[in-house]
Structure 1
């Protein structure tokens, strides 16, 4: 059994997906009836999950797909760099990891966090994926998109991959996760991305690598994974964290203990979330296999298969998913964070802000921290 803080009129129902019409809404939220609630849904008979400042989160068992607890699971928010998990999922199967490329000036000059690509350098695709998932390089994201045949093609394929995974809350507008009007994802979708990625050995290798040598003209430098829990949390596998000043903090991560893996995804956290995520993971491990799940991480659709038709013979009680917050488009259009990372050097947004007002003429640019 599960409890809820917002009324839900039925227990978990069979998944009823959209009809073939382009703008039809599902009768039941993907993953089950309870996941349409904007409030906390958690199982009975055990203590509730630890408190978190995240607006939305999901705790799930990767092995079984069971959602153990959730809050506003389908609420749509700016994903920031957690969207890079979808970029990697989409492009890893398409690109030869041993292929060598020379990035364009456009890729090297991307705003926000960078791994430090230069047009004079030559990089393997494998290096670019490390830069993408370890250092959250927006330059690496664009270089991969251009290697895949261009930005437009890559965005089409990323959105198609999201639909295949049944991540229907996700609209990708950038390969890096930099805020852009219309872009969105949800804690539920981030958990789907993590589960799909953990089934791919290369994806798992990139997200779990703590440090690596990254090519540079005439040598190399060391890059580090931005996921702090890789050093702090026993069994941490990794995945992706993100932050912009308008999206605020987002994270999706998985850890393994005793042969079982728990995933936690959070969105729109106002501050430092690492300790809270660790406690949510601990809670997930403590209740796994002992409680009735509140929902399910659905399996991907078979390749080439259209979304299933709505089940009209047994309609489910409608629960309206959380509406897209008005902040999505306005936040994306006003993104003004300044932090930039090159290699292992971070320039703080506050310092740059001060320099601007001191008249040093630093040009304002949109930034993402992670």
Structure 2
């Protein structure tokens, strides 16, 4: 892996996270929310096996929920499964549920615990390799990319809004918005994208007409992009009835968001000052809760040479989710991971392995494309969307994703200190 061998950012990031946590605790905004999905899980000793998706179990919908987070409100029902496009969006090969790789490819790197993943070219739109690319999984906070893609086009980034108690009470991870605090939309997007703040998502959604209206805008945008495996149920990525996306769709949505300069800037920003808020909301000059520093929670940004940034996510039902991009030798590649775990590597490390593999692939190879690209994209019409009956025929590929990659290197002992520092920060009880 092309891992940076320095840790100069780690103490600063840790200090920023601790400072934000102490400030937020003053109003309870970092107190763990009730329910089972409270925090990033610790690494366990459960034996690791690469998930096998050859049975197309998630062709229609995500795995069953393990808690009540997706229970519909009284009087409402869970939406039915989204229609399955036929032919598959992006090309016939992407309809496969197992590994989808070019012929005669080297073995996929060991240690990829993500159940579904994909690597694509941000510029050409070519899909280089994938696993269960259209399988449906929960996005967790990676759906904030879709929220940003919608809201950045509609909101004035210089407009100042006043934080509310409803913002501060948002469930899950919060950047630390307080009632009476004054924030520009640009600062709200910093809190949304860099720190995965559900309070920032709430403040943004309020300006778009509330959660229900915002979800409708997000789903309309997904359809415009031909992200037909995607249905948002909440603006923040907290699980809700009918929520789903796919590795393919997340790549597509991320590629669209990367055309927005502010989005591309913020996912690449390491740290920034965030405003405080008054103890007495009626007195905006009362700065009892001073400003603090927030740090980008995407470790790939700090540790991988050429990283452009990305977005992380986690809930108990979604598990670890991740989308990011990196640049090397004039090529910009994006990688998405869904339903991953921290074993045997953290998600950003799994992403780094896949990026290294894809950067080393011969020029011009692909297994499909993203809509709107110049590489055999699928022309979607209303008649092209139909429900297909899984399982579909498997494509030729390695079934277990195991094997050695001679280009991978072991992380030296000098990185241990960085891991320990990051572990402290991750145990602050934040849920994405």
TM-score bin (small chain):
0.7 to 0.9
Residue equivalent to 2:350: 276
CA distance in 2, matches of 1:146, 1:289: 45
| Selected match of 1:247 from 308, 318, 329 | 318
- Count, aligned residues: 304
Q: Map Cα deviations across residues 159-208 of structure 1 (whole Å, 9 max, x no partner).
A: 00111111111110111101112111111111011111111101101111
Secondary structure of 1:216's counterpart equals coil
Distance 1:345 1:56, change over 3 A: closer
Indicate the SS of the match to 1:183: coil
Residues 1:111 and 1:321: Cα distance change in structure 2 (over 3 Å):
farther
Name the CA shift for 1:311/1:145 in 2 (closer, same or farther; >3 Å).
closer
Moved over 6 A (4+): none
- Deviation track 1:198-223 (CA, whole Å, cap 9, x = no partner) reads 11101101111110000113342100
- 1:114-158 per-position Cα deviation (integer Å, ceiling 9, x unaligned): 000001201000000000000000000010000122222111111
Q: What is the correspondence of 1:1-370 to structure 2 with a 5 Å cutoff? A: 25-51=84-110, 52-217=112-277, 218=287, 219-271=290-342, 272-287=346-361, 289-291=363-365, 293-299=366-372, 308-310=381-383, 320=390, 348-349=428-429, 369-370=431-432
Distance 2:151 2:240 in 1: 21
Q: Distance in 2 between matches of 1:321 and 1:167?
A: 21
State the Cα distance separating 1:320 from its structure 2 match: 4.4
Could you tell me how far 1:309 is from its partner in structure 2?
A: 3.3
Residues 61 and 288, structure 1, Cα contact 8 Å, conserved in 2: no
CA–CA separation in structure 1 for the residues paired with 2:389 and 2:121: 24
Q: Which has the higher contact order (CA 8 A, sep 6+)?
A: 2
Cα shift at 1:6: 5.5
CA RMSD after TM alignment: 2.6
> Normalized per residue, which structure has more strand?
1
Using the TM superposition, name which of 273-282 and 41-50 deviates more.
41-50
1:7 CA drift (Å): 11
CA contact (8 A) 1:240 1:252 kept: yes
Query: How far apart in 2 are the matches of 1:57 and 1:319?
Result: 22
SS of residue in 2 equivalent to 1:101? strand
Tell me, in whole angstroms, the C-alpha distance in 1 between the residues paired with 2:381 and 2:93: 21
Unaligned residue ranges in structure 1 (runs of 5+):
9-21, 301-305, 323-343, 350-367
CA distance in 1, matches of 2:149, 2:160: 20
> Contact 1:74–1:321 at 8 Å: present in 2 too?
no
Would the aligned equivalents of 1:36 and 1:320 in 2 still touch at CA under 8 Å?
no
Q: What's the TM-score once normalised by structure 2's chain length?
A: 0.66
* Displacement after TM superposition at 1:108 (Å): 1.4
Q: What runs of 5+ residues in structure 2 fail to find an aligned partner? A: 1-52, 57-80, 278-286, 374-378, 393-423
